[in-house]
Amino acid sequence: MQVCSNNQQILHAVSTWKAQGKTIAFVPTMGGLHAGHLSLVHQAKANADKVVVSIFVNPTQFGKNEDFDHYPKTLEQDLTKLEACQVDAVFTPSKEQIYPNGYTSHVKAGSLAQGLCSKSRPGHFDGVVQVVHRLFEIITPNVAIFGQKDYQQLLVIRQMVETLSLPISILSGDIVREQSGLAMSTRNQYLSVDEKETALKLYQVLIQLKQAVLKNQDLSVAIHNSKATLSQDFKIEYLSVFDANTLKSITDNTSKIAILCAVFLGSTRLIDNIIFNQG
């Protein structure tokens, strides 16, 4: 496994593979790797000849009062996990490699970035789109894999690729959960043992809400009830039931539904979702 800490190294690896006619799958991450990330790596391996994983905590997607400074950094363990998955190259750039002096990006997040996470994290998706576009520019993958865990992000990336006509297939990976049902997240490290116990209620509420939707119960009543349950343990940022393609209200044309939520448990922000077919 090659560990490339600068652009020249990864460019060399990628151009060598391309000259050999190999295809490349790319999995962008911010490190603090868990089984959710590794499931994307396995999917990448199944979809291309070579797999590149990036580990870069992107400053431009964090707000002023967010956890950029103490975001978990576990590079040694991450590399061990990726080596065990037989990843071909890990790209671990510095901020200067990604945003060299004078670098400007004109790429902005599209309409799907509106609402949901953007409400509390203004500019977040512009930062995500900026870094992913830059990483795509350097790595030029054939395929890139993103987790459904960050569902709005997945749609925003797909929209960017479509708008810019980038020759990259975007695949999504299912949410990997703890046995308790809690969606795996690097930020789960912030939770105390008691909080982890409480956190699993989030997924339980989402499942109940899904059942209510499938039974055609009044949507606003069902959401209201779910919020009432959630608010016993969490500070709710949003809990929405939307068309999974448009991230807008459900219509007669809706075929796939997304239940999406963001909550705070103490000072830790958790997001989760369920995507399912309409009845």
Binding mask 7-46 for ligand AMP (x = CB under 6 A): ----------------------xx-----xx-xx------
Q: Which is nearer to ligand AMP, 87 or 175 (CB)?
A: 175
- Read off the tokens for 123: 């500019």
- Determine which one of 37, 42, 70, 133 is catalytic: 37
Question: What is the rounded CA–CA span in Å between residue 6 and residue 96?
Answer: 9
Task: Looking at residues 73 to 112 of the shown chain, list those that interact with ligand AMP (rule: CB under 6 A).
Answer: none
Distances from the Cα of 195 to the Cα of 136, 198, 200, 202, 229, angstroms? 37, 5, 9, 11, 16
Find out whether 265 and 199 touch, Cβ atoms under 8 Å. Answer: yes
Find out whether 170 and 144 touch, Cβ atoms under 8 Å. Answer: yes
**Which residue from 87, 1, 103, 93 is spatially nearest to 44, judged by alpha carbons?**
87
Question: What is the rounded CA–CA span in Å between residue 235 and residue 267?
Answer: 10
CB of 131 to ligand AMP, least distance (A): 10
DSSP string over 243-257: ETTTSS---TT--EE
Q: Which is nearer to ligand AMP, 152 or 223 (CB)?
A: 152
Q: Which is nearer to ligand AMP, 200 or 250 (CB)?
A: 200
Q: Is 173 in the site for ligand AMP (CB under 6 A)?
A: yes
CB of 105 to ligand AMP, least distance (A): 18
Is 124 noted as a catalytic residue in this protein?
no
Number of residues that bind ligand AMP (CB under 6 A): 17
Question: What is the rounded CA–CA span in Å between residue 111 and residue 71?
Answer: 28
Question: What is the rounded CA–CA span in Å between residue 24 and residue 138?
Answer: 12
| Other residues' Cβ atoms within 10 Å of the Cβ of residue 179 | 6
CB of 15 to ligand AMP, least distance (A): 25
CB of 186 to ligand AMP, least distance (A): 5
Find out whether 265 and 195 touch, Cβ atoms under 8 Å. Answer: yes
CB of 20 to ligand AMP, least distance (A): 28
Q: Which is nearer to ligand AMP, 7 or 61 (CB)?
A: 61
Task: Looking at residues 141 to 170 of the shown chain, list those that interact with ligand AMP (rule: CB under 6 A).
Answer: 146-147, 149-150
Residues in the chain: 279
Task: Looking at residues 210 to 269 of the shown chain, list those that interact with ligand AMP (rule: CB under 6 A).
Answer: none
Q: Which is nearer to ligand AMP, 124 or 149 (CB)?
A: 149
> Active-site positions?
37
Return residues touching ligand AMP (CB under 6 A). Answer: 29-30, 36-37, 39-40, 146-147, 149-150, 173, 175-176, 183-186
